[in-house]
């Protein structure tokens, strides 16, 4: 028994003292729609700067903002809308001077071919996936577009809320919903789902990805270097490759 | 503390609806399975016991994923039902099925414990007096199993109220249609600035669970006194 207690306590100690984050770690908190881009860019950067290790957290921008607010270790934040960046800026959690624009995107409706060809056709559908507007920017843009098109009331009970834009795309890929509101770049990654129509730009504000170093990140040399790299031409080329616009 | 929004009331109503439906749906099956496990003598009984208890230890997400594979558009049962014009995935029915699977072992367990406590002499007495097995089942075992039935149902009901993992996979998250309390709380918990909303719904959840468990304890005490 005594031995068992000893083993358990030493195991616990080991768990608790396990190195929290090495100096060379860079914690990235990035909107889910940028997953492939940031994977490739961080991979390239790590290749050029051996010793730098990236810890990547992809998810709904609102969720990432909330995690950061609650003390999650984040060095660099890329949001899929201005709102969640402002949220962290107002709480003095990001380095306000570093805020810049990473990229732009457009909202589309994706699903099995033939299901719909315009916003009006959505009324005929049974189930539509949308990111939860409370935390997923793609869902917020989509809700805004539905409201402007006067369709929000009619579609209210047909909207399946997804935890992030990629989960939204998955629903459309599996065919469990008739279609999903996702970014053009997400739809390009899809295998089965196709872009059915592009949501008219006058219905929602332009999809903008602001990026910033967090207050902690501005003191992390590797994070600062990677941040500069994201502003560079190499990053722009990778973004273009995945269908993002940098204007 | 903020008050509850209309969609919160929807979520509470849906949770109760799902829990009631799942429990009622499982009662007959639960009774039969508990009866077979307690009194039946057949090969492969252990296998059935393990199968019934599996959802108790399996992550609910796994249960949900299997259900999705089975009932989804491309699942073999789902494709069949689709032809018949029945759609389960992303409807409240799917939430009921998910809760029924996850809560079932709790119901069977309570019933089994109860049935094992039935005096075997009562059963053999009824048999020697000429009762057929189904007479014994209906007139001796069923009435004596009632405390276990109530205790098991209340436990299963409470478990169904909290079902999350399997539900979010098969029933999706549609406010006012399939968004139950845990799903609504999850949504609040992942969006900034809605701490108060999450908290009020959490408190409702705690309240309901406590009432149900209190009821369960009272029933369990009652049946213990009897036995």
Residue A29 to residue A73: CA distance in whole angstroms: 9
Q: Is A77 on the interface with B (CB under 8 A)?
A: no
A100 and A213 housed in the same domain: yes
- Work out whether strand A53-59 and strand A25-31 pair parallel, antiparallel, or are unpaired: parallel
Q: Is the residue at A231 inside a domain?
A: yes
CATH number of the structural domain spanning residue A70 = 3.40.190.10
Q: What angle do CA B151, B156, B162 make, to 5 degrees?
A: 135
pLDDT on residue A174: 87
Quote the minimal CA–CA distance from A233 to chain B in Å.
Answer: 34
pLDDT single digits (tens) B57-67: 999 999 999 99
pLDDT on residue B4: 87
Q: Residues A115-140: what's their mean pLDDT?
A: 95
A132 and A58 housed in the same domain: no
A89 and A121 housed in the same domain: no
Question: What residues of chain A lie within 8 A of the CB of B175, using their CB?
Answer: 156, 159, 161
What is the value of pTM for the model shown?
A: 0.83
Q: What is the residue range of A175's domain?
A: 107-198
Report the residue from B89, B175, B194 with minimal CB separation from A161: B175
pLDDT on residue B218: 87
pLDDT-derived band at A1 (thresholds 50, 70, 90) equals: low
pLDDT on residue A20: 46
A191 and A226 housed in the same domain: no
pLDDT on residue B76: 85
pLDDT single digits (tens) B67-94: 999 998 888 898 899 888 888 999 999 9
pLDDT single digits (tens) B176-187: 999 999 999 999
Q: Is A66 within 8 Å of B89 when comparing Cβ atoms?
A: no
Q: Is A141 on the interface with B (CB under 8 A)?
A: no
Percent of chain A with pLDDT over 70: 91
pLDDT on residue A21: 45
A226 and A163 housed in the same domain: no
A93 and A212 housed in the same domain: yes
Strands of the sheet with A100-105, listed across from one edge: A53-59, A25-31, A76-78, A207-213, A100-105
Could you tell me which residue, A11 or A167, shows the higher pLDDT?
A: A167
Q: Is B90 on the interface with A (CB under 8 A)?
A: yes
Residue A75 to residue A25: CA distance in whole angstroms: 9
Could you tell me which residue, A228 or B218, shows the higher pLDDT?
A: A228
Q: Is A174 within 8 Å of B74 when comparing Cβ atoms?
A: yes
Work out whether the CA dihedral A85, A90, A94, A96 comes out positive or negative.
Answer: positive
Lowest-confidence segment of A4-8, A50-54, B165-169 by average pLDDT:
A4-8
A38 and A157 housed in the same domain: no
A42 and A28 housed in the same domain: yes
Percent of chain B with pLDDT over 90: 72
Residue A94 to residue A76: CA distance in whole angstroms: 9
Q: Is A160 within 8 Å of B173 when comparing Cβ atoms?
A: yes
Quote the minimal CA–CA distance from A72 to chain B in Å.
Answer: 13
Q: Residues B26-51: what's their mean pLDDT?
A: 93
A115 and A49 housed in the same domain: no
Q: Residues A158-171: what's their mean pLDDT?
A: 94
A87 and A49 housed in the same domain: yes
Which distant-in-sequence residues (6+ apart) come within 8 Å of A178 by Cβ? Answer: A111, A112, A115, A116, A125, A126, A127, A128
pLDDT on residue B74: 81
Smallest Cα–Cα separation from B166: which of B218, B96, B88? B96
CATH architecture of B6-226: Orthogonal Bundle (1.10)
Q: Is A85 on the interface with B (CB under 8 A)?
A: no
Structural contact between residues B162 and B206, judged by C-beta atoms closer than 8 angstroms = no
pLDDT-derived band at B191 (thresholds 50, 70, 90) equals: confident
Quote the minimal CA–CA distance from A247 to chain B in Å.
Answer: 30
A112 and A87 housed in the same domain: no
Quote the minimal CA–CA distance from A18 to chain B in Å.
Answer: 27
Domain count for chain A, please give it. 2
Nearest CA in chain A to B171: A160
A138 and A175 housed in the same domain: yes
Would you say residue A16 has pLDDT above 60?
Answer: no
Report the residue from B87, B176, B187 with minimal CB separation from A132: B187
pLDDT-derived band at A7 (thresholds 50, 70, 90) equals: low
Structural contact between residues B183 and B168, judged by C-beta atoms closer than 8 angstroms = yes
Work out whether the CA dihedral A119, A125, A129, A134 comes out positive or negative.
Answer: positive
Quote helix, strand, coil % in chain A, to nearest 5: 50, 25, 30
Q: Is A171 within 8 Å of B74 when comparing Cβ atoms?
A: no
Question: What residues of chain B lie within 8 A of the CB of A70, using their CB?
Answer: none
Q: Is the residue at A34 inside a domain?
A: yes
């Amino acid at each position: 028994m005594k031995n068992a207690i000893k083993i358990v306590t030493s195991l616990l100690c080991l768990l608790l003292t396990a190195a929290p984050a090495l100096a060379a770690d860079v914690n990235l908190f990035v909107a889910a729609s940028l997953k492939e881009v940031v994977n490739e860019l961080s991979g390239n950067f790590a290749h050029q700067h051996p010793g730098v290790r990236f810890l990547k957290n992809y998810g709904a921008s609102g969720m990432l903002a909330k995690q950061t607010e609650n003390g999650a270790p984040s060095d660099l934040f890329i949001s899929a809308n201005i709102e969640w960046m402002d949220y962290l800026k107002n709480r003095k959690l990001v380095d306000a001077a570093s805020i810049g624009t990473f990229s732009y995107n457009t909202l589309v409706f994706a699903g099995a071919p033939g299901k719909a060809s315009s916003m009006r056709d959505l009324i005929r559908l049974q189930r539509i996936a949308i990111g939860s507007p409370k935390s997923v920017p793609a869902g917020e843009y989509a809700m805004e577009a539905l409201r402007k098109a006067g369709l929000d009331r009619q579609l209210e009970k047909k909207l399946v809320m997804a935890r992030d834009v990629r989960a939204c795309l998955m629903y459309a890929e599996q065919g469990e919903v008739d279609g999903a509101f996702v970014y053009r770049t997400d739809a390009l990654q899809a295998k089965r789902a196709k872009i059915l129509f592009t949501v008219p730009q006058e219905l929602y504000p332009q999809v903008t990805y602001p990026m910033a170093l967090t207050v902690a990140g501005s003191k992390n040399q590797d994070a600062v270097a990677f941040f500069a790299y994201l502003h560079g031409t190499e990053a722009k080329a990778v973004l273009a490759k995945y269908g993002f616009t940098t204007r | 503390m903020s008050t509850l929004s209309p969609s919160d009331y929807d979520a509470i109503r849906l949770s109760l609806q799902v829990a009631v439906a799942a429990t009622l749906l499982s009662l007959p099956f639960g009774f039969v399975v508990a009866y077979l496990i307690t009194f039946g003598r057949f090969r492969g009984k252990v296998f059935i016991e393990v199968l019934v208890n599996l959802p108790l230890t399996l992550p609910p997400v796994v249960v949900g994923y299997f259900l999705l594979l089975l009932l989804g558009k491309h699942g073999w049962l789902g494709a069949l039902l689709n032809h018949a014009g029945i759609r389960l995935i992303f409807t409240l029915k799917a939430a009921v099925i998910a809760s029924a699977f996850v809560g079932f072992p709790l119901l069977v367990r309570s019933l089994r414990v109860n049935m094992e406590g039935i005096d075997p002499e009562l059963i053999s007495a009824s048999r020697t007096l000429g009762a057929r097995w189904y007479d014994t089942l209906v007139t001796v075992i069923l009435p004596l199993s009632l405390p276990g039935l109530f205790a098991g149902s209340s436990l299963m009901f409470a478990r169904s109220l909290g079902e999350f993992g399997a539900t979010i996979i098969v029933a999706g998250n549609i406010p006012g249609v399939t968004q139950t309390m845990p799903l609504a709380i999850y949504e609040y918990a992942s969006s900034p600035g809605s701490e108060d909303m999450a908290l009020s719904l959490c408190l409702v959840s705690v309240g309901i669970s406590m009432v149900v468990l209190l009821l369960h304890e009272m029933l369990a005490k009652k049946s213990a006194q009897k036995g």
